[in-house]
Structure 1
Amino acid sequence: MLKKSYPYYLANRPVPANTDLEVRDKYSGKRATRVAMADAATVRKAIVAAHKARGAMAAMPPHARRDVLEHCATRFEARQEELAIALCIEAGKPIRDARGEVTRLIETFRIAAGEATRIGGEVLELAISARTEDYRGMTRRVPIGVCSFITPFNFPLNLVAHKVAPAIAAGCPFVLKPAAKTPIGALIIAEVLAETDLPKGAFSVMPCSNADAAQLVEDERIALLSFTGGLVGWELKARAGRKKVTLELGGNAACIVDADPGASLDHVVERLVSGAYYQSGQSCISVQRILVHADVHDRLRRKLKAAVARLRTGDPREETTFIGPMIDEDAAKRVERWITAARKAGAKVLAGGPRDGNMLPAALLEKVPHDADLYRREAFGPVAMIEPFDDFDAAIATVNDSDFGLQAGVFTARLDHAMRAWDRLEVGGVVVGDVPSVRVDNMPYGGVKQSGLGREGVRCAIEDMTEPRLLVIRDPLRK
C-alpha cells in the first residue's frame, strides 16, 4: 500500500511541506495518497543547490558514483513489490507489466553503475606536420553541470531512471520534475538516493506546476534539459536558450510484416498484440500501424482479430488483466473520438468495445484513411490499424509518410529487405524480427522528425551529460 502522504526532495532531503497534490488510483478513481508540491521559490532553491554542488559532484571518483548506483539497484530490488504496487495504483499499469518496469529500473541503474567507471577519453596524435612535432594531446570527458529533467506519466520509474542514473554516473547534479499524475515512483527513487553519500544539493525531486517548472527550462545555470513527453517539447526547446536539449516526443510506430516474415504467423501476432496493447498502448513506441504483405494479410488479419478480441480488460491488480485503465478519462475519450471519426470516414472496426470511463477495450481497425487523426497522430491508447501492401519498397514509403520517426519494426526472412529497411526507414531505430516496441536499456534510443532530438540509453545520455576537455602538452624533448 502507498503511504498516506509523500514529501518532495530538496537538496537531497525530504520536505513534507504540504499535501497539495492528490494522486488517484487510476482504476477505482479513489484518492490513493497526497504529495507535497514545490512552488516557484522552492524550485529556484533546488537549482541554486544543484549549481553549488557541481564541484563536489564532479570530484566524486568513478568508484563512488558506481557504489551509489549499485546501492540504489540493491534497494530497489528489496522493494520490488512495493514499487510494482505503486505503479499499479498511480499509473493503472497491469501488475505483470508493473513488475517488468521495476526490473528495468534495476537494470538501468546497474548498467549506469558499470558505465560510471568507463567514461574515458582519447589520445590525439598532434604531430601532423613539422610545426607540431613537439605536441601531444589527449581528452577526457567532464560533467556538463546542472541538468533538469521533466518526465511523463507512462513509465514513472524507468523514464526517470534513464535520466537520473546517467546523471549520477556522469557526475551531474540534477533537478527532476515528475509527472503530476504519477509522482510516487520518482519520490521512492529519491527516498533511496537520500540514503547515499551524494553531495548536498546533488539532487532534488519535486512535483510542481508547469508554470513553476518554467525555471527548469529557462534558468541559465542549467546546462542540459532532458524532456520526455508531447510535442510541447519543441516549445520548451525554443525557450531553453544556450543549454543542451534532449527531447523524446513520441511517435505513431509502424510494423511491416513481409511475405515471409521469418517466423510463424502465430508468433508475429503474439508480438504485435504485445507491442500494440501493452499498458493500454500508452508507450511512445507502441505499435500503431501494421502493414502486412498481401500474401499473408488475410491469415494474419484473422488471427490478429481473434487475439485482440480475447484480451482481458479490467482491474490492473489482477494477474490476468492485460488492458488496464488509461491515465484519465479525457485520454480515453480522445482515442474513442479518433476511432469514431475514422469509422465515419470509411474505416472498419474489427475488434473493440464501448468505453467505460477511462477503460477502453483493445481496438483493431482496417481501411483507416491515411489523413485521419488516428493514422497521422500519436494515438497513445489501445488501438492499432492493419493494412495490406504488395511491394516492400512501397511499404517503406508508407511508413515514412509520417511526421514521426521513433522506431519501426520489420518481420522478414530476407536479408536484403532487412538491410533496405535499415537504410531507408526514417526512424531512430529499426527492429528486425520483432515489433518497434522493443527497448533494451543500454541501446541508443530516440527519434527523428517530430519524434525528438538526441538519444537516450545510458551510454548516450552520459555522453550528453559530459563534454570533452582537451589537454595539449608541448614536449621539446620528444624528438
Structure 2
Amino acid sequence: MDARPFWLAGSPATGDAELTVTNPHDGRVVGTASVPTPEQVERAVAAAHAVRKEAAALPIHVRAEALAYVSRRLSERADEVARLISAENGKPIFWARGEVARAVATFRFAAEETRRFSGEVQRLDTEPAAAGRLAYVSRQPYGPVLAVTPFNFPLNLVAHKVAPAMAVGAPVIVKPAPATPLTALVLGEIIAETGLPAGMVSVLPVPNDRAGALVDDPRLPVVSFTGSGPVGYAIKDRVPRKHVTLELGGNAAAVVLDGADLDWAAGRVALFSNYQAGQSCIAVQRVIVERTVLDAFTAKLVAAVDSLVVGDPADEKTQVGPMVSVEAAERVERWVAEAVAGGARVLTGGDRDGATFAPTVLADVPGDAKVVREEVFGPVLVLRPVASVDEAFAAVNDSRYGLQAGVFTSDLSVAFRAHKELEVGGVVIGDVPSYRADQMPYGGVKESGVGREGLRAAMEDYTYEKVMVLTGLSL
C-alpha cells in the first residue's frame, strides 16, 4: 500500500518514515501516511513565513473563490471522503456523511464572510479636536497559523482552522492527529488545486513528540489548538507571547425541566450522548433532571439508549461505532467501574467489546466520580435529580468546564435565565448542548478554552485591528 504524500507548501512530498492508520472497528489497515523529516518541516515553516505578506495582500475575490472551490470539490468527493473518515476514525458512515456536509458548508460560509470582512470607517469629529478626521479600521493577520487538530472530527475541525486562515490571508500549517491524518491529507490535496501561492497551506502529519518545535517556532505567531486541556494549557504556558486559541472540551450538561417534551428530550439526549461514541467535546455527559419528571424521563431515556444501533461503522444503519482505540475504551471502562464501586447504578450498558463501549446510563453517581467531574469522552451519561431550576443551574455550573449546555424547557423566562446564569460559552434551548451551527461563535469559558471558532469569530481571532487616521477632510 503506497503511502499518501503530505503537503509541503502546496506540493506533495514524501519523507523517510510512514504512519500506519488502522480501523478502530476491526483493526484492518486503512492506509499509510508519509511523515515529513525535520528538514521538510523546516522548509514548510520557512515557506509559510516567506509568503505571509503575499498571502495577506491577496485580493478578497481570490481568497473567496479559493474557499468556494474547496467547498465544491469536497461536495463532489463527499462519498469518498465520508468513507475515509469512517474507516480511519471509526465514526459511523451516517455521521461521517454529516461531517463532510458540514465541512462543505464551513468553506462556503468562509467564502461568504471573506467578502464581508472589509473593515469599517469611523468619523472622529465627535470632539472639536478631531474635526476633519476619519478613521479606517482594518484587520490584518498576525501571520502564519499553526493548526493542531484532533481525531474526532478529522475533516470539519481542520476546516474550522484552515478556512478562516485562508479567508484572512494567513498561511497555515496543519498538524493533524496521528490517529486520523488521511482525511486532512485529502483536504490538502483539494486546497492545492486552488492555485493559491505556494507556502500558504501545508499539511504535516508529524508525531506528537515532534510538535513542540512547531509550537516554539517564532515564525508561527498564532497557535490554534483543539484537544485535551492538559496539552492545550501546556502549549499556552510554553509560548505565552504568542496568540494562542484553545478549544478544550468539557463535560456538557443537559437540563430537563418539568413541562418539557420528555419524548423529544429523551431521544435527543440518548442520541447525542453517543453519536460519536461520546467522543465529542459537547456530547451529553451530565443529565440534570427535575425530580417531578425523573421517573418518567428515565424510563424514556433508557428505552431510547437501548434502541440505538451499535455496530460496524460502515453499515448505513449503525448509530454508535467504536471508540478511536481499545485503550480509549478501556479507560472509559475503568471510570465506569470506579463509579460503580462508589455506589453508582448501571441502568443500561457498561460493557466493552474491544474498542466498542456500550452506550451507558448511570444513576446515583457520587459527585466526585471521574464520570461527573472530568470529560468522559465516551458513550456514558450520568443522571442527576434536582428539586428546582435554581438547583439545576447550580449543578450545571458546578464544573471547572464551561463549553455548552442544553436546557429543555417551554418557559421563555427560564430560557433567558439560562443564557444569563449558566457559565458556558453557549446555551441551547430546547435541545442538547451538542448542537453547533458552523457559522456561529463557538468556544468555552473556565477550563474549556480561550478564543472562539465559527468563521467570523476565528477570522477575528487570527487578526488584529489596524487603524489609519485621515486628516483635513470635509465631512
Short-chain TM bin? over 0.9
Write the distance in 2 (CA, Å) between the matches of 1:39 and 1:257. Answer: 52
Instruction: State the match for 1:168 in structure 2.
Output: 166
After TM superposition, the structure 1 = structure 2 runs for residues 75-94 of structure 1, keeping only pairs within 5 Å, are 75-94=73-92
Write the distance in 1 (CA, Å) between the matches of 2:287 and 2:250. Answer: 14
Shift of 1:17: 2.4
Q: Return the letter of the residue paired with 2:127.
A: S
After TM superposition, the structure 1 = structure 2 runs for residues 151-166 of structure 1, keeping only pairs within 5 Å, are 151-166=149-164
Q: Does 1:414 align with 2:411?
A: yes
Q: Return the letter of the residue paired with 1:452.
A: G
Write the distance in 2 (CA, Å) between the matches of 1:135 and 1:441. Answer: 39
The C-alpha deviation readout for 1:413-455, integer Å capped at 9, x for no partner, is 1111111111110000000010000000000000011110011
Write the distance in 1 (CA, Å) between the matches of 2:470 and 2:232. Answer: 43
Match of 1:331 among 303, 324, 328: 328
Q: TM-score, normalised by structure 2?
A: 0.98
Name the SS for the 2:81 alignment partner. helix
Shift of 1:144: 2.1
8 Å Cα contact 2:336-2:350 kept in structure 1: no
Instruction: State the match for 1:142 in structure 2.
Output: 140
Q: Does 1:402 align with 2:399?
A: yes
Displacement over 4 Å in runs of 4+: none
Shift of 1:19: 4.8
8 Å Cα contact 2:31-2:182 kept in structure 1: no
Q: Does 1:229 align with 2:210?
A: no
Instruction: State the match for 2:298 in structure 1.
Output: 301
Write the distance in 2 (CA, Å) between the matches of 1:131 and 1:307. Answer: 68
Instruction: State the match for 1:276 in structure 2.
Output: 273
Instruction: State the match for 1:362 in structure 2.
Output: 359
The C-alpha deviation readout for 1:138-173, integer Å capped at 9, x for no partner, is 211222211110000000000000000111111100
Gaps of 5+ in 1: none
Write the distance in 2 (CA, Å) between the matches of 1:131 and 1:104. Answer: 50
8 Å Cα contact 2:333-2:350 kept in structure 1: no
Match of 1:45 among 26, 33, 43: 43
Instruction: State the match for 1:238 in structure 2.
Output: 237
Q: Return the letter of the residue paired with 1:247.
A: L
- Paired residues, what number? 474
8 Å Cα contact 1:254-1:408 kept in structure 2: yes
Instruction: State the match for 1:124 in structure 2.
Output: 122
Gaps of 5+ in 2: none
Name the SS for the 2:392 alignment partner. helix
Write the distance in 1 (CA, Å) between the matches of 2:335 and 2:259. Answer: 33
Match of 1:434 among 431, 434, 450: 431
8 Å Cα contact 1:190-1:205 kept in structure 2: yes
Write the distance in 2 (CA, Å) between the matches of 1:215 and 1:148. Answer: 11
TM-align CA RMSD: 1.2
Instruction: State the match for 2:187 in structure 1.
Output: 189
Write the distance in 2 (CA, Å) between the matches of 1:415 and 1:375. Answer: 29
Instruction: State the match for 1:114 in structure 2.
Output: 112
Q: Return the letter of the residue paired with 1:478.
A: S
8 Å Cα contact 2:288-2:386 kept in structure 1: yes
Shift of 1:311: 1.9
Write the distance in 2 (CA, Å) between the matches of 1:138 and 1:196. Answer: 31
Q: TM-score, normalised by structure 1?
A: 0.97
Instruction: State the match for 2:256 in structure 1.
Output: 257
Write the distance in 2 (CA, Å) between the matches of 1:26 and 1:428. Answer: 32
Shift of 1:274: 1.8
Name the SS for the 2:441 alignment partner. coil
Instruction: State the match for 1:478 in structure 2.
Output: 474
The C-alpha deviation readout for 1:374-414, integer Å capped at 9, x for no partner, is 11000000110112111101110011010100000000011
Identity rate, percent? 47
Name the SS for the 1:105 alignment partner. helix
Q: Return the letter of the residue paired with 2:63.
A: R
Shift of 1:39: 2.9
8 Å Cα contact 1:19-1:34 kept in structure 2: no
Match of 2:338 among 338, 341, 353: 341
